[in-house]
Amino acid sequence: MHRRRRTALVVSAAMLVAAPLLSACGNQAHPGAAAVVGGDRIEVSTVQAQVAEVRTAQRESDQSVQLINKSGQLGRAKLHGLIFDRILDKAAADADVTVSRKEIQEMRQSAATQSGGEAQLRTMMLQQSWVAPDQIEAVLREQVQLTKLAQALGADLQQPAGQKAVGDALTAASKSLHIDVNPRFGTWDDKQTQLANYKAPWITQVTKPAQQEAAAGA
């Protein structure tokens, strides 16, 4: 994959637009859980911790007010990311795909170089993608994993057929995990691999090319 295209995917992978901040309240079946994925709980407190990391970084920025005002839907975005991480892990495992520490470091070096340096990368990820500094490597790992999954499937992410192949693999993994989301945050759509009534731009751009224009305006 072209390096410029790779960086675009890295950025879009974290540009999640969702709904208001979470509160520590669970549903009757899974009290305290924001979601249950493959039998494993994602606690509301885990989502809140990720939100708090971003808010701390935003407050330290000279654009703090603007950044906070533009990310009022941060909580649901983080929940989506936590769920999707598990889906991608499952799809990768099914395809015998693994990611090494070295690959993540190489991706970070490449992203930093194309961004103009490490500081610029951190600023860009925070401003455009609502990603705190300590969360960047998780996003980069996701991108490496996605790229290697496509390779394992013999799929070209720049071609519709390749995008469909990866999308089908993610949908299959999603269904197998029997995802149960706390109604407070919505429901999970296996086919779209996202929270219902919620556009995750990176999935739309990578696996649903026909919806790119809609995602860009979300």
pLDDT of residue 208: 36
pLDDT digits (tens, 9 = 90+) for 130-181: 999 999 999 999 999 999 999 999 999 889 999 999 999 999 999 999 999 9
**Could you tell me the pTM of the whole model?**
0.76
Measured CA to CA, the distance from residue 94 to residue 29 in angstroms comes to: 29
Domain ranges in the chain?
3-205
pLDDT of residue 88: 97
pLDDT of residue 196: 77
Measured CA to CA, the distance from residue 143 to residue 11 in angstroms comes to: 9
Q: Please tell me the CATH code under which domain 3-205 is placed.
A: 1.10.4030
11 pLDDT more than 50 = no
* 179 and 172 Cβ atoms separated by less than 8 Å: no
pLDDT band at 32 (very low <50, low <70, confident <90, very high): confident
4 pLDDT more than 50 = no
**Radius of gyration of the CA atoms of the chain, in A:** 17
pLDDT of residue 56: 96
Strands 188-189 and 180-181: unpaired
